[in-house]
Each structure stands twice: as C-alpha cells, then as structure tokens.
Chains A and B, each alone.
Chain A
Amino acid sequence: EVQLLESGGDLVQPGGSLRLSCAASGFTFSTSAMSWVRQAPRKGLEWVSTISGSGGSSYYADSVKGRFTISRDNSKNTLYLQMNSLRAEDTAVYYCAQLTSHWGQGTLVTVSS
C-alpha cells in the first residue's frame, strides 16, 4: 500500500523558515517524480514544486521561486520542502503527491505574527 506522510507544518512568523518532510513507502520512490501542492484556507489547489526521481531536475511556481527549495533523499525515501522568507500568503495545507496517483494527508503551515 502506498503511503505518503507529511510532517513539519507549524506556526511561523513572517520572514521565518520551515522545512517540510514527506516519508514515502509502498512504491519505488527513487524512480518517481514527486511534487508539493498547497491549498490556502477555503481556496483551490495550487501546484508548488516538482522534482525528478533522481533529484537532478526541479521546477517551481513563480510564487515561491527563490524562496522554496525542493529536495529528496532516495536512501531514506523522503521528500523535503525548505521554505524561507515565509509570507502570510504562504499559509496553507501542504500536500506531498505523486501527482497523478497518490497524495499525502497534508500538513498545515500558518504564517502569522
């Protein structure tokens, strides 16, 4: 059974940093492109970032480019999202996803003073 388990969400002040993790199991993680998708309160889904299976290629939404960094550790079957210079508009539930198939349950990031 495929499982994606996010962690690391928290309340953080504007300008602060946070690192999200996503532990994967039940599939061949190292060959799977992985993504982060977020959903602000009462809003729709927004794609944030995708990384290739090897980690050699990564892509970002303009709204987070230069502030967020996606990475992975294939030896640990874990996906990461390093979020710096956080803004109020980054407040959302962040989902880890193998996009056209499996999604995690999400982790809440709140940016507020």
Chain B
Amino acid sequence: EMQLVESGGGLVQPGGSLRLSCVDSGFLLSRYWMGWVRQAPGKGLEWVAHMNQDGSYYFYLDSVKGRFTISRDNAKNSLYLQMNSLRDEDTAVYYCARLGMAGSADWFDPWGHGTLVTVS
C-alpha cells in the first residue's frame, strides 16, 4: 500500500529556496506518475506539477515555471519539489499525491498529509 509522507516545509524569506521531499513507505512510487498540489491557508486546492515515472514528462503551473522543479529518485522511493525564488503567494500546505490513470482520466490518489511552506 502506498503511504506518502512529505517533509521539508518551513519558514523562508521571499526570494529564498526550499526543497520538499515525499517518501513512499510502501515502496511503490517508482511505478507511478506523481505530483504536487498546494493549498494556501484558508483557500482551495491548486495543482502545481506532476511527472512521469522516469522523469521524461513533466508539467507545471504557469506561475511556478522556471522557479520550481519536480524530480524523483526511484531508488529512494522519493519525489521532490525544489522551490526557488519563493514569493509570499507560494505560502501553502504542499501535498504530494500519486496519479491514477485510466483511459483519458487522471486522478490524485492517495495523498500525503502535507507540509507547510511559509514565505515571509
């Protein structure tokens, strides 16, 4: 069973950097597309990025392109989000999640518990 645990969040000044990690204790991460979704305090959900199993395909929200980089280390069952040039509006809980796929349908399941990033 896939169980996702994020880490790496914290307080950072505007313009700073953070690297988020997501580890799958079920050792299944290498088989799946994986992604990140964020939620600003008291706000709704926002898709950030996702990538395929070997890193050859990846997609980003426009507002994070050029600043955030999604990557993975399948040998370590880990997904990462390198966040540079952070802005106040990047403040959010960041969730990692597995992508499920069937035909043209895609979905996020399961989700990690999230890690809070505060830019201030």
Do A and B pair up? The answer is no
Chain A contact residues, CB within 8 Å of chain B: none
